[in-house]
Structure 1
Amino acid sequence: MNPVITTPAATTVFTTVLTRGPISRTDVSKVTGLSSAAVTRAVKPIMEAGYLDELPYGRRTATGSGRPAAPLAVRADREFFVGVKITATELIAVVTDLRAQVRAAEHLQLAGRDVDTVIAALGQVVGDLVEHPERTHSLGIAISGDVDKAGGVVRYSPFLGWHDVPLARLARRATGLATTIENDVKALTVAEQWFGEGVGAEAFAVVTVGAGIGCGLVVHGVLVEGGYGVAGEIGHVPVADFGPACHCGGRGCVEAIASERAIVAQARAVTGQDRLDMNAVIDLAHQGHPAVCEVFAIAGRAIGRGIAAMVNMFGPEKVVVSGEGLAAYDLFENHIRDAFTPQAFGAAGRCPLVIRPLPFEEWARGAAAVSIQTLFR
């Protein structure tokens, strides 16, 4: 798919309307710093391509100036996007419109984790969901681990056991859609940046707690990839010199202490009950089992120190805490905050931690948001 929006000014204008619209040209100019003439020049070809509409005069603008204006708005149904989150057990797939509003969703259980099985399932779920093929050209895939977005390769996904899988190429062959892959936490961060807690923020972070401990960073309005594409991996910040071994090869990492797998393993060890799962561990903690409560306390302190290290280095305006592990968040929230505050340097200790429970469909929506970027890549 060829990008529709091809200049920096057009990209800036379109993303402003996308994230803040309906909004007048005057307000776009104020928000972006572009001249009125530059905004008008940028809008014209995008509108001609059918991606923007001009609403009737008199409707309120995004800033609520009260003056009659002709606000610009994204034409949401101009194009549709597919987003898929791959887990170790299932595919969660959504179709969204141009504003990343979910129009359809489906879960498909995986018969196995091998590449061929997952690709076949991917082709099936995309075929089931796409109702407007003439307006659906892009697929975004979110997957945990070390992802080479530019090359379309999953370098390492610990929960699937994949190494150096050319996922974008295989997915395009199976679905016929231009495919972009991204680390799942970074994809979720893109959705939050454009359509959630991060709208209007120059710098913010998303931290996810669950099967792993992930982090996505936005600095100066740009998602931070880093030289190797793995920037923000606070799950692999060491916080305990003699802590447990981590799958990354390190020791004492936040993830080795505070992931669901780590919490279950520690709870089994302190209780002697080797068949506990995460739900049973949470139940024991809610019942006040002292040793299990201490497992969550240790996990919370590890997460808090990891977040503090990230805040000290990057200075986000806020940290959004999410992930499937929030079902147990009440068990370690205080410990996260108690460890974060003294470890954060100076004024960084005032950085708010915003708790935002999100279902897996939101991760798939994040993948769709990444695919929306193909409009102006």
Structure 2
Amino acid sequence: MRSTSSHEAVPATTPAASLVFTTVLSHGPLTRTEIARRTMLSSAAVTKAVRPLMEVGYLVEDLNDGARSALGRPANPVRVNAGRAFFIGVKVTGDEIIAVLADLCCRIRVARHIRLTHREPEAVLPSMTSLVHELLLEAEGFGVQVRGLGIAVSGDVDRADGVVRYSPFLDWRDVPLAGIAETATGLPVTVDNDVRALTVAEQWFGAGVGLSDFALVTVGAGIGCGLVVHGQVVSGAHGVAGEIGHLSIDPLGPPCHCGNNGCVEAIAADPAILRAVRKVTGRAVTTAAEALELARSGDPGVREIYARAGEAIGRAIGAVVNLLGPERVIISGEGLAAYDLFAEGIRNAFAASAFGTAAECDVMTRPLSFEEWARGAAATAIQSFIGSDTD
């Protein structure tokens, strides 16, 4: 976690306090008894964690006419005071910057978009800084201070050092993004891979709430995967984990930008599909919408391209389920627009690949807008703020 000591942090200075806060954040309102049951902490430890968080207003008690537990303790539920602090989340794509102002419960209050004409850091960073300052002014209108900035970028991102080591869609290498953004905005900054950031949001506020083990697979411009194992988002020993897009499932397949052949991303990502469609049809197809129109009009060659893409995704999901045994796999990303064309290939390949009872894994789709990816960046800022990024 990167932050500067001059900024206030939530007083979750112990693992127990951080655990209590994140439990209430995801599952609240909860009584102290329910918190103890979910966290497996003693009642005394819960009380010790809750009291200072209430004193500074991050947790509040929902009064319930003096209700008492069986042991005579107050049974009023405790919840997070969402308006106590705001956070800014930024998602940088190859074409635009999306920024959101979110409250402490990661609900989006304001969203801003700006198109990018150039992808060099020298062009992107001033635009990003301008959006952040706009949202800081919005926060002033709410009378709430912004406590952190989260930035989500595709590719190999070192969260601990705040460095974008390599982002293929932006063509960035070794950009010290957190340090630059901290200097420009005056905020504590968390920089993470965009799929991991979205996974944090799903773990705390979305389809992963309450699950100890799940995977988030994203399809679209790339093929990504966020992993949660034993309640922790996996970042890997070297900051790279879950890169199912670079599983080589066909050594004789098309070349991938990573240097290998037949990667899932080289078969099923939007750019790969467009290349294949152009080759099969001879048409100058430049957008996913054009390719979808051809497929849905019944072009057999284009439909076969999508079927093959679905098969590649299904085999990749089968590999994840066989290796980690998650309770659920969530499929999301802008590529879900083609899910009707992918679905059968995904189902069949997953069923063929999954071993034994691994096939019982719940595989679901969850359409999410790019604003939700920016919300994921805000979630990482909240995570850093409350001191729970301990993986």
TM range (shorter): over 0.9
Could you list the runs of 4 or more consecutive aligned residues of structure 1 that deviate by over 4 angstroms after TM superposition?
none
Amino acid at match of 1:9: A
| Residues 1:357 and 2:367 aligned together | yes
Counterpart in the other structure of 1:195: 205
Residue in 1 that maps onto 2:354 = 344
Whole-angstrom CA distance in 2 between matches of 1:276 and 1:101: 35
What is the deviation of 1:228?
Answer: 1.1
Do residues 34 (structure 1) and 44 (structure 2) align? no
Distance 2:321 2:62 in 1: 41
1:241 is displaced (CA, Å) by 1.3
After superposition, give the CA deviation of every residue in 1:85-137 in whole Å (9 maximum; x if it has no partner): 00011100000000000000000112310101111001110111123356112
Letter in 1 for 2:337: A
Name the CA distance, whole Å, in 2 between partners of 1:342 and 1:279.
30
In the alignment, structure 1 residue 144 sits paired with structure 2 residue 154: yes
Residue 45 of structure 1 aligns with which residue? 52
User: Is 2:76 aligned against 1:56?
Assistant: no
Q: Give how far 1:68 is off.
A: 8.4
Once residues 333 and 325 of structure 2 are traced to their aligned partners in structure 1, the CA distance between those partners, rounded to angstroms, is 22
1:262 to 263, 272, 275: 272
Matched ranges for 1:79-118 at <5 A:
79-118=85-124
**Do the aligned residues in 1 keep the contact of 2:101 with 2:139 (CA within 8 Å)?**
no
Amino acid at match of 1:12: L
The Cα shift of 1:59 comes to 10
Contact (CA 8 Å) 2:277, 2:285: kept in 1 or not? no
Query: Which secondary structure does the structure 2 equivalent of 1:132 belong to?
Result: helix
> How far apart are the structure 2 equivalents of 1:59 and 1:359?
43
Give the one of 202, 213, 219 matched to 2:223: 213
Alignment of 1:139-288 (within 5 A): 139-288=149-298
* Percent pairwise identity: 57
Q: Which residue of 1 aligns with 2:135?
A: 129
Pair 1:21-2:50 in alignment: no
Once residues 165 and 198 of structure 1 are traced to their aligned partners in structure 2, the CA distance between those partners, rounded to angstroms, is 31
Q: Tell me, yes or no, if structure 1 residue 71 matches structure 2 residue 81.
A: no
- TM-score of the pair, normalised by structure 2: 0.93
Give me the whole-angstrom Cα distance separating, in 2, the residues matched to 1:145 and 1:375.
24
Match of 1:159, SS state, is: coil
Unaligned runs of at least 5 residues, structure 2: 1-6, 68-72
Pairwise CA distance, 1:376: 2.7
Q: Summarize the Cα distance change of 1:68–1:287 in structure 2 as closer, same or farther, 3 Å threshold.
A: farther
Structure 1 residue 374: deviation in Å?
Answer: 1.9
Q: Are 2:330 and 1:320 equivalent residues in the alignment? A: yes
Q: TM-score, normalised by structure 1?
A: 0.96
Do 1:266 and 1:295's aligned partners in 2 also have CA atoms closer than 8 Å? yes
- Stretch deviating more after TM superposition (284-293 or 2-11): 2-11
Give RMSD over aligned pairs: 1.6
Matching residue of 2:3:
none
Q: Quick one: distance in 2 between partners of 1:146 and 1:309? A: 21
Q: Which sections of structure 1, spanning at least 5 residues, go unmatched?
A: 61-66
Task: Report whether the alignment pairs 1:291 with 2:298.
Answer: no
Distance of 2:153 and 2:66 partners within structure 1:
41
Match of 1:373 among 356, 368, 383: 383
Helix, strand or coil for the counterpart of 1:216? strand
Aligned-pair CA distance for 1:350: 1.1
Mapped to 1, the partners of 2:62 and 2:283 lie a distance apart of 63
Q: Retained in 1: the 8 A contact 2:87–2:146?
A: yes
CA shift for structure 1 position 69: 2.7
Alpha-carbon shift at residue 275 of structure 1 (Å): 3.6
Change in Cα spacing, 1:55 to 1:142, as seen in structure 2 (3 Å) is same
Are the counterparts in 1 of residues 8 and 147 from structure 2 also a CA contact under 8 Å? Answer: no
Q: Which amino acid aligns with 2:23?
A: T
Q: Given residue 122 of structure 1, which amino acid in structure 2 is its aligned partner?
A: M
Give the number of aligned pairs. Answer: 372
Of the three residues 344, 347, 354, the one matched with 1:334 is 344
Deviation (angstroms), 1:250: 1.3
CA contact (8 A) 1:84 1:142 kept: yes
CA distance in structure 2 between the aligned counterparts of 1:16 and 1:292, rounded to whole angstroms: 47
Return the offset for 1:258: 0.4
CA distance in 2, matches of 1:276, 1:137: 41
Q: Do the aligned residues in 1 keep the contact of 2:118 with 2:124 (CA within 8 Å)?
A: yes
Query: Take 2:317 and 2:24, find their aligned partners in 1: how far apart are those partners?
Result: 32
SS state at 2:217 partner: strand
